[in-house]
Structure 1
């Protein structure tokens, strides 16, 4: 009996884990802006051209109109009693949610100007609280595959950045967005949003944003020269995180040692 119970629990746990993996795979394409094998080749440092922005905005508008048209058609069939065709429309709406719709331009790309005169905006404050509550709730349910919660929170953080660029919550929203992109292993976008958080609020101290940015640049993107700068800033600005400071100091020494060794080898070659 005991062995049977253990076997059942083990099978259940495995199925549970696999369900979570499939759920993450299903929604991860919504977060990444292009297929996974191309992500590392894309740079988000340069803002998109005006022509690209116009085309992408047109695509987004047509996507919204397509969804609204399907909803209208479904309602029409429901009201006229044609439930067979109503199910067709409902099924097509469901299929839209399962189909990857790449976000060719992300908010962080076009919101690149320095935010100035940041003030408290009640609507933005409310939106941030709603998104942040969802983010925190999802953090505790992610083990059961609740990735849609992150997707919704991310959409709200981006909405805040777009609609309320002068809100004093834009840096907080950028930091949270960076965390979500990092969770989905879209490290270039995570780095972009972490940079925006520091750019919009150079004095930000509520989060270890500089350290997280440095870690991604260092360990995920191989940009160690740039990582050094943010490790140094983390040591100066993020004193509430002693463990991070210890790691930053260690990585600075290791990177500098590696750089000196490489320079020495280069001199010996010449």
Structure 2
């Protein structure tokens, strides 16, 4: 004989299982803290390198497949590869470790006017922020690829401070929402351009302060804004927040 379990008891049992599977309320962190990426352990380097290589190989293989089907006139499979490539570019691909083949060191020197780098930058700006929905995301991905190509091929270009600033804006946008990456590239923007007059320092400080909860780093950057910036409004903004964070201490 089949035993019928009352709906109320079943629902109560499911609730109990869910409660048992999670941590006690006192141990839960707030949602904002949960969203923050913890510092990557040094032991992740080899695995991250393999992931990055696998991504490149996967994309390259799809492009070769697309070329094959284009050459042979197989329109159906050509469309399949196009759809898969689009899905790959739309897929969220975080930077698991910013120091592994991602953010170049602060020691790069922006010394040389490189025509090829200038052209890549112009092309990237034509894509950045254009379109809506899926097209917007794809255009932001296209801009990222072009900007990163400059850093990889022409690291001595005198445009790398602008490239870093543009990349920071991309990673801060809704197309990426990778705030740790954005903050690091804002830092590179002013580190690669002595006497930089942009708001990169302040933007980095605000990200470390408001988004990443790295207050000590934010305080250092706010102080740098006060010391190095020449924009009165940015200086006032930094001074106000410094007073809040330090209790008025300089």
Superposition TM-score, scaled by structure 2 size: 0.71
Task: Tell me whether 1:118 sits opposite 2:114 in the alignment.
Answer: no
Contact 1:44 1:109 survives alignment (8 Å): no
Structure 2 Cα separation of the partners of residues 146 and 176 of structure 1: 16
Aligned 1:116-155 pairs, distance under 5 A: 116=109, 118-135=111-128, 138=129, 141=131, 146-155=136-145
* RMSD (Å) for aligned C-alpha atoms: 3.3
CA distance in 2, matches of 1:47, 1:120: 39
Instruction: Confirm whether residue 231 of structure 1 aligns to residue 222 of structure 2.
Output: yes
The gaps in structure 1 that reach 5 residues or longer are: 1-36, 260-270
Query: Hey, what's the Cα distance between the residues in 2 that align with 1:170 and 1:44?
Result: 26
Cα separation, partners in 2 of 1:117 and 1:38, compared to 1, 3 Å: same
CA distance in 2, matches of 1:168, 1:160: 11
Deviation at 1:236, TM superposition (A): 2.9
Going from structure 1 to structure 2, the CA distance change for 1:187 and 1:92 (only over 3 Å counts) comes to same
Whether the 8 Å contact between 1:194 and 1:210 is mirrored in structure 2 is: yes
Task: Specify which structure has the bigger relative contact order, considering alpha-carbon pairs within 8 angstroms and separated by 6 or more residues.
Answer: 1
Q: Distance in 1 between matches of 2:83 and 2:201?
A: 40
Structure 1 residue ranges (4+ consecutive) displaced by more than 4 angstroms after TM superposition:
44-48, 103-108, 141-145
Matches of 1:214 and 1:57, distance apart in 2: 29
What is the aligned counterpart of 1:158 among 131, 139, 148?
Answer: 148
Aligned length, in residue pairs: 212
Question: 1:211 maps to which residue?
Answer: 202
Counterpart pick for 2:83 among 94, 102, 108: 94
* 1:66 maps to 2:61: yes
Deviation at 1:215, TM superposition (A): 0.5
- From the two aligned structures, give the one with the greater helix fraction: 1
Instruction: Measure how far apart 1:233 and its partner are.
Output: 1.6
**CA–CA distance in 1 between the matches of 2:72 and 2:173?**
41
Deviation at 1:166, TM superposition (A): 0.6
Structure 1 residue 93, shift from structure 2 partner: 2.8
Give the distance between the partners of 1:45 and 1:214, measured in 2 at CA. Answer: 24
Instruction: Classify the secondary structure of the residue corresponding to 1:123.
Output: helix
